[in-house]
Structures are given as structure tokens and as C-alpha cells.
Chains A and B, each alone.
Chain A
Amino acid sequence: MTTTRLTRYDRSMLRLMNDRRCQAWYATAARRRLAVAAHITLTVAIGALMTHFFLAEGEPLWPVAAMAVLLLPWMVATGIINGATRGLLELREHVLDERQSAERSRVLARAHRMTTLLLAATAVALLITGGVDGNAPKAYAAPLLIAVLVVHWVMPLWVAGLRAEDEPADDEMLEAGASRRA
């Protein structure tokens, strides 16, 4: 970390991502998995609403309102995962230390492999539906493309959230001692 001088933005992001006030929300693997599951569910729900909005006749407004409502918990879930990973994907490279940089590379590599598989599966599904119903690829290509793009964008966050590990055991005694000395 910190061989390059940190900007004010870097320092504020570093503080934000290492804020321990909400630590209880992602303290255990089960809670982190729950946050990732909630994030995936909300992403799928928002995507489905967006697809409905574009494909439905007359472009009804209720899906837009529902999306706006779901965006808030989606942002909270994003914040929980970012907190669990200590901003692994949000902080700039020179803010991370060597372990975090290596972990970010591993996360991005794994997410890349998964989205490659997803893209391949989507292409195969489109080809098969095209074989059955000639118009299907044309109708579903745009929403599917957007869905895959969104998944490609958030997959690293999901992978990072699932790979995050528990905090090392407390250092409270030493920290209390240090604050007493200060």
C-alpha cells in the first residue's frame, strides 16, 4: 500500500471502506452469504422489472416505481459486501496492500471465468430458442444482453463477498493498552 501518496479521495474511501460500525452485519460467513444472496435476488428482481418495462405494451410506470424502491436495499446490500471485503473492488490499486492486490486479481479472474460461462450459456440458449422460434432471438437479445452486462458488472462483487474471510481474532487488549498510553 502507500508507496504512492494518497489523495484526499483515497483517504476518505479508505476510511469509509474500513469503517467498522456495521461490522456485525458481515462478521460471519453465513451473514456474508446472506448479503450476497440478497444482492443477487435484488439484482435479478430489478432486472426482471426492467425487462418487463421494456417488453410490456404501453410501458407501464409501476415497474419503474418498484425498481426505485428496490434500489435502496440493493445499495445497502452493496455497501455490506463492500464493507466485508474492505473495499477490495472499490479502492484504487495503489491504496491496496500486496495481499489485497493479489486477492483482487484472484476475484477478477474467477468472476471473468464465471461470466464467460454465463455468456456462452446465454448464446447457446439464444441459438436454441432461435431454432424453435425464429423471432425469439430478436425479441430477447436486448434484455438478455443487458442482463448479462449487469451480471458481468456485479459478478466480481459477489465473488469477493463469498471469498471474504472472518476478521482475525480481536486485538482488543493491545488496542486498549495503546489508547491508554496515548
Chain B
Amino acid sequence: MSEQVHNRLAMVRAERKVSRQSLAEAVGAHYQTIGYIERGQYNPSLDLALKISKFFDLPVEALFSLEPFRPLTDKVYGRNQP
């Protein structure tokens, strides 16, 4: 039951210059919950994950994954994983 869900929420949120508070208000969650998701201390429900994805206008798999995300620079500049 404690499957770790990896996410890129902190990075995307910083990139879009959205505060935790405003994201939390938009998706109907507490700002601490957003922080706990970013720290990997809480796995959001499908409902909340979809709301967050919709807020950023991104597919849910761009933000949440069961596998660790590859660093974005590796993806952009095509460096292969070791």
C-alpha cells in the first residue's frame, strides 16, 4: 500500500511561478498537502492528481509516475542514463 509515487510538482510549480497556496486553493486542498506531495510524504488520490494536472494543463503522467523521473536536462539534451 505504500507504493512511492514520484512527482515533478515542485519543479513545474516553480517553473510556472505558482505558490503552494494558490495551487492548493485552485485544487481544493490544503497548502501543506501540496508541500507533502512535493516531498514525497503523501501520495495524492487520482482525483487530486487529475485536478493538479488540469491546473497546469499537463497530462497526469507528466507530473506523476511510479518510476523515478529522468532529469529534464537529460531528456532535453539527450544524455543517456547510465
B70 adjacent to chain A (CB < 8 Å): no
A-contact bits for B2-25, CB 8 A (1 contact / 0 none): 000000000001100111111000
How many CB-defined contacts (below 8 Å) exist between A and B?
57
CB distance from A32 to the nearest CB of B (A): 14
Q: Does A104 lie at the interface of the complex (its beta carbon under 8 Å from any beta carbon of B)?
A: no
**A residues 46-79 in Cβ contact with B at 8 Å:** none
Contact indicator B28/A1 (Cβ below 8 Å): yes
Q: Contact between A99 and B30 (Cβ–Cβ < 8 Å)? A: yes
Task: List B37-79 residues whose CB lies under 8 Å from chain A.
Answer: 38-39, 41-42, 44-45, 47-48
Contact call B30/A1, Cβ cutoff below 8 A: yes
Q: Which residue of the partner chain, among B19, B21, B22, B29, contacts A1 with CB atoms under 8 Å?
A: B29
A159 to chain B, nearest CB (A): 18
Q: Can you name the residue of chain B whose Cβ is closest to the Cβ of A177?
A: B17
Complex Cα distance, B33 from A165, in Å, reads 11
- Asked if A135 lies at the interface with its beta carbon under 8 angstroms from chain B, I say no
For B18, what are the chain A residues with a Cβ–Cβ distance below 8 Å? 174
Could you tell me if B39 and A168 are in contact, using CB atoms closer than 8 angstroms? Answer: yes
A132 at the B interface (CB under 8 A): no
Is the pair B28, A165 in contact by a Cβ cutoff of 8 Å?
Answer: no
What are 27 A-B pairs at a CB distance below 8 A?
Answer: A1-B28, A1-B29, A1-B30, A97-B28, A97-B30, A97-B33, A98-B33, A98-B44, A98-B47, A98-B48, A99-B32, A99-B42, A165-B36, A167-B32, A168-B34, A168-B35, A168-B39, A169-B35, A171-B35, A174-B13, A174-B14, A174-B18, A174-B19, A174-B20, A177-B19, A178-B17, A178-B22
